[in-house]
Chains A and B, each alone.
Chain A
Amino acid sequence: MIGNAGPKRRYAIRLAILMAVYLIVLFAAVTTFRSHSVSGPAAFVLALAPALPVIGVFWAVMRLMVELDDEYLRMLMVRQTLFATGLTLGCATAWGFLEQFELVIHVEAFYWAVLWFFGLGAGTVFNRLTVGTGVCVP
């Protein structure tokens, strides 16, 4: 794709690295906690470690948005991310109240990040329905 191959390639490389780091760090954290060989401040650092590459994926998505040369594709991506963000915040807010009144089970907070990534995919469908183009970005 003209003018966008570079940004998309960089995004794919960043994503691959971040996912590899995530898997390694997650495995290390789970293994270490299961062996009860960490405590105190080190436990906090280790527990937070798997979050960092996931946060890195958010950064990679935003970088792609900045680096895309094609203004139309960038507009589609902005719509996608806004859709994902709205979906996630809306669901998290609704679920929070349902949980507060003990009508639903507790959901671990990191699942909202998973929902956001799902929202990016659903944002493609949203774009197709609203502007007639469902080009998947990224």
Chain B
Amino acid sequence: MNNRLKVLRAERDWNQADLAEALGISRQSINAIETGRYDPSLPLAFKIAALFAMSIEEIFNPGDAGTG
């Protein structure tokens, strides 16, 4: 799963800690999601989308994982 989280965060001049605080999760989680090492649950994906006022599809795309 690919995502634009790092870009969206940078556009708002937020660091990982800022985003983590806004979402109520750990900075490690943000780092793992941004680097593609962890795919968030659907509730967390919705929470991230709501924070950026975007749809989930605008932030996350399945990449290779969605082609099978």
A residues adjacent to B (C-beta < 8 A): 1-4, 69-73, 75, 131-133, 135
Contacts and interface: CB of A to CB of B under 8 A. Distances in A.
Given A70-B29, A71-B29, A72-B29, A3 B40 contact: no
A133 B32 CA distance: 8
Given A71-B40, A72-B38, A75-B38, A133 B24 contact: no
Contacts of A70: 25-26, 28-29
Interface of B: 20-21, 24-29, 31-33, 35, 37-38, 40-41, 44
A123 to B, nearest CB: 16
B28 A135 contact: yes
B32 A72 contact: yes
Contacts of B33: 72
A133 B33 CA distance: 12
- Counting from the closest, the 4 A-B pairs by CB-CB distance are A72-B29, A70-B26, A3-B24, A70-B25
A64 to B, nearest CB: 14
B47 to A, nearest CB: 11
Nearest to A73: B26
Nearest to A3: B24
B26 A133 contact: no
Contacts of B44: 71
Nearest to A1: B26
Contact of B25 (A3, A133, A135): A3
Contacts of B32: 72, 131-133
Nearest to B22: A2
B37 A133 contact: yes
Contacts of B21: 2
Nearest to B30: A72
Given A131-B37, A132-B37, A133-B37, A72 B24 contact: no
A73 B37 contact: no
